[in-house]
Amino acid sequence: MNLNLSVTQKDPEQKIFSSSYASDQVSKISEIYKEEHNISIWERKLDSKIVESAEKALIKNPELQFSEIVKPENVKKTLLEKVDSDEETLFLNNDIEYIVNVFCNLFDLKQIWLRLDAINEPMCPRFHTDSVKCRLVTTYVGPGTQWLPHDVVNRSKLGHGNQGKADNKSGLFVNKKDIKELDTGHVALLKGEDWVGNKGSGLVHRSPHKKQNYKRLYMTIDFLDFYLSIYKIRPSF
């Protein structure tokens, strides 16, 4: 699958760190390669058929927890076997297959770790960074991931630095308006602490906080080596 994702080369003299980039063009998600970006967002609007397909998948599988190592060529087959083979979820499966191809093409990968979860409460309620190179996130149903721009974060207040205080009381950020949120359907690449040269600049993010009925269908894609580091499995390929 040729997705024509061009990678823009950065100026080697440029040392500005960690801003965001957003575009309605999927090809521009490659901006994550620039040193100054720690989040790159494809601001797409989900097709109504994908929305309907995702909502039906969530209704049929309200406790769905899908976690598999997949290849671009077998991801759809795996979804049909382990999630749902119903025709009603066809558009969702097709979209997931496309996004897996986008990620693998962008980073020249043959396999990735794909997760698709039904969520009824915040999985990660506190702001944090991840010890990954880069993670793709998207939400098919419900609110999207929340994040903080690099220049508004007091990173000394992350983790134990919050001294037991809530994020909005610890001094991690000044104003509630500083919190950004992905829309449903947006596809984002979140640069982590393990991206070369990005230590101390991983994107600060959390699960969305909402008072209303909390139902999400949330997808993440990670590099295979992150999965292997967690489960201490030697690759067999």
- Tokens linked to 4: 């024509």
How large is the C-alpha radius of gyration of the chain? 18
Inside any domain, residue 2: no
pLDDT, position 123: 73
User: What percentage of the chain has pLDDT greater than the value 70?
Assistant: 89
Query: What distance in Å separates the CA atoms of residue 97 and residue 71, rounded to the nearest whole number?
Result: 10
pLDDT at 162 over 90: no
pLDDT in tens, 85-94: 788 899 999 9
| pLDDT (tens digit per residue) in 178-212 | 999 999 999 999 999 999 999 999 999 998 887 67
14 within domain boundaries: no
pTM of this structure: 0.88
In a domain, 86, yes or no: yes
Domain that holds residue 190: 19-120+136-142+185-201+209-231
- Cα within 13 Å of Cα(44), Cβ side: 21
On whether residue 79 sits in a domain, the answer given is yes
pLDDT tens-digit series, residues 81-114 = 998 878 889 999 999 999 999 999 999 999 999 9
- Residue 9 domain-assigned? no
Higher pLDDT, 148 or 233: 148
Which one-letter amino acid corresponds to residue 117?
D
Tell whether 13 is covered by a domain: no
| Contact present, 56 and 88 (Cβ < 8 Å) | yes
Q: Is 163 left (phi over 0), alpha (psi -120 to 50) or beta?
A: left
Tens digits of residue pLDDT in 4-23: 564 444 443 333 456 899 99
Q: How many separate domains does the chain show?
A: 1
Please report the pLDDT score of residue 158 as a whole number: 87
Residue 45: which region, alpha, beta or left (left: phi > 0; alpha: psi -120 to 50)? beta
